[in-house]
């Protein structure tokens, strides 16, 4: 509902507005003992009271002002048969309370109560009943609308927290996989170093006794063969583990997936603006793109954790020799200490270092936060492959 100001008018609101006008006309015409008869002013002002309901989501305060003013004019024409017109401003006050903060709703209530009191007195109700209607009914509408607004706010916060937990779990899983890969890589290094040392020693021995002691040379060669087969088996097993632990979706991620990430974050309530030219990133190395994507993902996670739903801008620029990614967010409501020294920034800097990049982060003058990643373009394929494997 909060984003409805930029959307098209919902068809259901138009139908409701038309139906309310028709019902109000019917009640006003059939009301006993006094009806509106064929008075065009009464019907026209009644339409003006209820038709604005069609755009109540887009401009609730303005719609309430129009409906309330129409009721004032209706009463000024000495119409003492109010019919359903009394409820127009009441229902719109509920809409204001469900979409706007209490301060604005309070101001709207102050303008509505006198008009409702006038309408109740015109209907020949006792003064104490008129006062009760004019005060209790608007306050009830305010309370019910505010409950709906707070429930919607809590649902949005819950969605943000749920997405935050999902992202944190994803990052924890990724770190665990990375740590396991590092452990396997170290084990692979130990296996290769050990077996190559044995092969080197046996090769030297075989060469030394090749002419003088053929049986010893033959035994050394056999040892070399056995050691080679064992080393190949160990390497094959460890490489298979690396391939098994690999996440196909992770290696397929690139800067082309940033719009999807921004949309997912926007759906949770975080306003993210992406400034990127898709043509600039088409020829970039896949490993470098994955690094930049993960930095953006981690930065957006930090925004949610430390700045709430602050407006955030992601800018991707490619120059001749470098790629620059800049993530800035406005000042928000922090949920942490905001120091920027946690594991998130450390992980981002480590990723940047794998590609000889630089990552800087810090507060802005307006209270927001900026993270800027600069990656050189031109890293040779061998280094890129090693960085991707890590």
Length of the chain counted residue by residue: 390
**In this model, does residue 134 exceed pLDDT 70?**
yes
Task: List the single range of 39-43, 200-204, 256-260 with lowest mean pLDDT.
Answer: 200-204
Q: Assess whether 91 and 46 both reside in one domain.
A: yes
220 in the same domain as 187 = yes
In a domain, 317, yes or no: yes
- Look-up of token digits 């409501």: 333
The pLDDT tens digits for 180-204 are 777 677 667 656 765 676 677 778 8
145 within a domain of the structure (yes/no): no
Average pLDDT over the chain, rounded to an integer: 80
pLDDT given for residue 267 in this prediction: 64
Domain carrying residue 49: 2-124
Residue 272 resides in a domain: yes
Q: For residue 339, what pLDDT band results from cuts at 50, 70 and 90?
A: very low
Residue 33 has a pLDDT of: 64
pLDDT at 9 over 80: no
In this prediction, residue 380 carries a pLDDT of 45
Q: Is residue 352 part of a domain?
A: yes
Is residue 342 pLDDT above 60, yes or no?
no
Residue 348 has what pLDDT?
83
CA distances from 103 to 61, 108, 151 (A): 12, 9, 18
> For the stretch 36-51, what's the b/e string if a residue is b when 16 or more beta carbons lie within 10 angstroms of its beta carbon?
beeeeebbebbbbbbb
User: Alpha-carbon distance 21 to 54, whole Å?
Assistant: 11
Q: Are residues 177 and 274 in the same domain?
A: no
Q: Write down which residue in 192, 225, 247 finishes a domain.
A: 247
Domain stop point among 247, 264, 298: 247
Same domain, 255 and 378: yes
Higher-pLDDT residue of 46, 228: 46
Least confident of 17-26, 200-209, 231-240, 335-344: 335-344
Same domain, 263 and 370: yes
Q: How confident is the model at residue 122 (pLDDT cuts 50, 70, 90)?
A: confident
Whether 365 has a pLDDT exceeding 80, the answer reads: yes
Do both 28 and 95 map to the same domain? yes
Where a domain ends, among 226, 247, 268? Answer: 247
Least confident of 147-156, 327-336, 373-382: 373-382
Residue 208 vs residue 333, higher pLDDT: 208
β-pairing, 369-376 vs 358-363, is antiparallel
The pLDDT score that the predictor gives to residue 241 is: 60
Evaluate whether residue 146 is within a structural domain.
no
Question: How do residues 277-288 score in pLDDT, each as one tens digit?
Answer: 988 888 888 778
Mean pLDDT, residues 363-378: 89
Query: SS3 string of the chain?
Result: CHHHHHCCCCHHHHHHHHHHHHHHHHHHHHCCCCCCCCCHHHHHHHHHHHHHHHHCCCCHHHHHHHHHHHHHHHHHCCCCCCHHHHHHHHHHHHHHHHHCCHHHHHHHHHHHHHHHHHHHHHCCCCHHHHHHHHHHHHHHHHHHHHHHHHHHHHHHHHHHHHHHHHHHHHHHHHHHHHHHHHHHHHHHHHHHHHHHHHHHHHHHHHHHHCCCCHHHHHHHHHHHHHHHHHHHHHHHHHHHHHHHHCCHHHHCCCHHHHHHHHHHHHHCCCCEEEECCHHHCCCCCHHHHHHHHHHHHHHHHHHHHHHCCCCEEEEEEECCCEEEEEEEECCCCCCCCCCCCCHHHHHHHHHHHHCCCEEEEEECCCCCEEEEEEEECCCCHHHHHHHHHC
**Residues 269 and 301 occupy one common structural domain:** yes
Please report the pLDDT score of residue 327 as a whole number.
95
Residue 31, in any domain of the structure: yes
pLDDT of 266 higher than 50? yes
- Pair 180, 302 in one domain: no
CB-based burial label for 4 (10 Å; 0-12, 13-18, 19+) = middle
pTM passes above 0.75 = no
pLDDT greater than 90 at residue 10: no
- Give me the residue label for tokens 């098994």: 244
Contact call for residues 348 and 318 (beta carbons, < 8 A)? no
Residues 208 and 293 in one domain: no
Regarding whether 365 and 343 lie in a shared domain, the answer is yes
> For the ranges 21-25, 179-183, 327-331, which has the lowest average pLDDT?
179-183
Determine the pLDDT at residue 374. 94
**How many domains, in total, are found in the chain?**
3
The candidate with the shortest Cα–Cα distance to 324, out of 348, 358, 294, is: 358
Residue 341: phi and psi, rounded to 5, are -120, 20
Residue 212 has pLDDT above 90, yes or no: no
CATH number at residue 266: 3.30.565.10
Residue 169 covered by a domain: yes
Mean pLDDT of 67-87: 85
Q: Do 270 and 227 belong together in one domain?
A: no
High-pLDDT (> 90) share of the chain, %: 14
Q: Minimal CA–CA distance to 153: which of 300, 271, 2?
A: 2
Whether residue 143 is contained in a domain is answered as: no
Instruction: Give the CATH number of the domain where residue 213 resides.
Output: 1.20.5
For the cut 60, the answer to whether the pLDDT of residue 368 exceeds it is yes
Calculate the alpha carbon distances from 158 to 151, 286, 330, 388 in Å.
Answer: 10, 35, 21, 35
Q: Are residues 180 and 300 in the same domain?
A: no
- The CA–CA distances, whole Å, from 204 to 198, 224, 311, 335 equal 10, 11, 68, 65
Res. 343 pLDDT band, cuts 50 70 90:
low
90-94, 97-101, 130-134: the lowest-pLDDT one? 130-134
From 22-36, 82-96, 161-175, 190-204, the region with the lowest mean pLDDT:
190-204
Query: Which residue from 79, 148, 68 is spatially nearest to 113, judged by alpha carbons?
Result: 68
pLDDT value of position 317: 94
């Amino acid at each position: 509902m909060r984003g409805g100001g930029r959307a098209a008018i919902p068809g259901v609101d138009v139908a409701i507005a038309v139906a309310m006008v028709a019902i109000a006309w019917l009640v006003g015409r059939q009301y006993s003992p006094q009806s509106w008869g064929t008075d065009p002013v009464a019907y026209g002002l009644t339409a003006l009271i209820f038709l604005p309901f069609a755009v109540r989501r887009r401009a609730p305060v303005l719609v309430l002002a129009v409906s309330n003013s129409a009721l004032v004019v209706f009463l000024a024409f000495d119409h003492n048969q109010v019919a359903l017109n009394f409820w127009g401003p009441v229902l719109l006050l509920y809409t204001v309370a469900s979409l706007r903060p209490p301060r604005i709703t309070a101001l709207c209530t102050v303008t509505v109560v006198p008009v409702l009191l006038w309408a109740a007195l015109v209907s020949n109700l006792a003064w104490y009943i008129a006062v009760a209607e004019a005060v209790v009914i608007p306050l009830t509408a305010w309370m019910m609308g505010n409950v709906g607004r707070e429930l919607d706010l809590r649902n949005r916060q819950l969605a943000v927290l749920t997405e935050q937990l999902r992202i944190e779990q994803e990052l924890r899983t990724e770190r665990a996989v990375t740590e396991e890969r590092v452990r396997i890589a170290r084990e692979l290094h130990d296996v290769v170093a050990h077996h190559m040392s044995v092969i080197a020693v046996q090769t030297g021995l075989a060469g030394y006794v090749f002419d003088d002691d053929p049986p010893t040379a033959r035994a050394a060669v056999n040892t070399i063969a056995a050691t080679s087969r064992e080393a190949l088996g160990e390497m094959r097993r460890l490489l298979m583990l690396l391939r098994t632990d690999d996440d196909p979706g992770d290696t397929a991620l690139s800067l082309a997936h940033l719009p999807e990430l921004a949309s997912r974050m926007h759906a949770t309530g975080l306003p993210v603006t992406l400034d990127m030219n898709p043509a600039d990133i088409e020829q970039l190395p896949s490993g470098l793109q994955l690094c930049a994507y993960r930095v953006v993902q981690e930065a957006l996670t930090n925004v949610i954790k430390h700045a709430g739903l602050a407006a955030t801008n992601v800018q991707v620029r490619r120059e001749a020799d470098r790629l620059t990614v800049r993530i800035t967010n406005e000042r928000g409501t922090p949920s942490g200490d905001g120091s920027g020294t946690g594991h998130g920034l450390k992980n981002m800097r480590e990723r940047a270092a794998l590609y000889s990049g630089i990552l800087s982060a810090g507060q802005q003058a307006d209270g927001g936060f900026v993270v800027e990643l600069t990656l050189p373009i031109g890293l040779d394929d061998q280094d890129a492959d090693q960085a991707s494997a890590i």
